[in-house]
């Protein structure tokens, strides 16, 4: 019996109602709709189940990969021997706290948090109303759009250690920067966070959200699967502008294409593979480097 089969059996004993999937295709769990099967995937229904999973994982000496909503992720085409824990189904607590604060579970979509804030006449999260990822992923990468970032409203982050013990990081301990945080490269698992917002008028909040929704729809290729902005913003400029300047809109490899609507997006026009996306982004980076001298850095993460 190999370690994954052993882990599966231990998880079934520890969590009888846990959803466990074997050789589950990752294309069904990412916004890119790309990715081959992974050996084992667990979808905990609660924080308690997640804690129990971590305890069994440690015993089995299997390193888990934590998945949220898969909106900033590129997975390889080949079957992968790994254990994935998908948190977006179970970590969904959303609660109003005193003094204009909200507790939000890591699995809650940022768009849902923004809608929740709107319902309670709280402003400060309008920028997140169209971001497709979860709070957990948003904290990890300090998600932002249209001049707003999570660091502007995030008071504290709640997490679990690999052993399943709870911890909290507050303020500057979170080290929130441009598309980074103290959790990048670490082993802690984000389970939620507290956001501090300000009182506002519902009509004004809704109008701002509507304006941002129109801007996204008119400028971004929402009609095709993608992982959002493909490259990080280079110092002193914008990746999309550099790519457009190099005449790369519409450049295609297999099913992957530089969006004809927004050069900062690589989209899946149909049947794109991980290999297609990598070949295309390698071309983009090489051409932009040669023609502008700027080295673009990937914002989309690759699953190991």
Tokens at 125, concatenated: 């999260």
Distance CA 59, CA 36 (A): 27
Query: Nearest-CA neighbor of 225 among 76, 71, 121?
Result: 71
Q: How far is CA 212 from CA 102, 146, 180, 215, in A?
A: 22, 8, 24, 5
229 labelled catalytic: yes
User: What is the CB neighbour count within 10 angstroms for residue 113?
Assistant: 25
31 labelled catalytic: no
Catalytic-labelled residue, pool 179, 181, 226, 259: 179
Paired residues of 122 in beta bridges: 199
Distance CA 160, CA 163 (A): 8
Distance CA 151, CA 148 (A): 8
Sequence-distant (6+) residues with CB within 8 A of 140 are 181, 183, 184, 190
Catalytic-labelled residue, pool 149, 229, 259, 285: 229
User: What is the CB neighbour count within 10 angstroms for residue 290?
Assistant: 9
Sequence-distant (6+) residues with CB within 8 A of 83 are 4, 7, 38, 39, 40, 41, 42, 57, 62, 63, 64, 65
Place of tokens 């079957």: 79
299 labelled catalytic: yes
Taking the chain, what is the end-to-end CA distance rounded to the nearest angstrom? Answer: 24
Question: Which active-site residues does the annotation give?
Answer: 179, 229, 299
């Amino acid at each position: 019996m190999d370690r994954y089969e052993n882990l599966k059996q231990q998880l079934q004993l520890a969590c009888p109602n846990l959803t466990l999937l074997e050789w589950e295709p990752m294309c069904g769990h990412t916004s890119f709709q790309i990715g081959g099967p992974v050996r084992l995937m667990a979808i905990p229904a609660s924080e308690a189940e997640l804690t129990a999973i971590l305890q069994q994982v440690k015993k089995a000496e299997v390193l888990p990969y934590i998945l949220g909503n898969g909106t900033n992720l590129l997975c390889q085409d080949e079957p992968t021997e790994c254990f994935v824990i998908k948190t977006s189904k179970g970590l969904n607590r959303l609660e109003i706290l005193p003094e204009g604060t909200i507790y939000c579970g890591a699995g809650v979509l940022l768009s849902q948090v923004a809608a929740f804030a709107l319902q309670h006449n709280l402003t400060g999260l309008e920028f997140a109303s169209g971001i497709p990822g979860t709070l957990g992923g948003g904290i990890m990468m300090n998600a932002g759009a249209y001049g707003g970032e999570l660091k502007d409203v995030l008071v504290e982050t709640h997490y679990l250690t690999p052993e399943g013990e709870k911890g909290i990081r507050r303020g500057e301990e979170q080290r929130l920067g441009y598309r980074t945080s103290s959790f990048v490269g670490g082993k802690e698992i984000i389970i939620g966070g507290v956001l501090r917002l300000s009182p506002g008028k519902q009509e004004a909040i809704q109008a701002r959200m509507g304006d941002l929704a129109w801007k996204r729809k008119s400028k971004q290729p929402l009609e095709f699967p993608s992982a959002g902005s493909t490259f990080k913003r280079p110092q002193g400029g914008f990746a999309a502008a550099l790519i457009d300047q190099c005449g790369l809109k519409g450049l295609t490899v297999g099913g992957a294409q530089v969006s004809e609507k927004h050069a900062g997006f690589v989209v899946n026009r149909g049947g794109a593979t991980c290999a297609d996306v990598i070949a295309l982004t390698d071309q983009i980076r090489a051409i932009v480097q040669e023609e502008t001298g700027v080295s673009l850095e990937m914002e989309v993460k690759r699953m190991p």
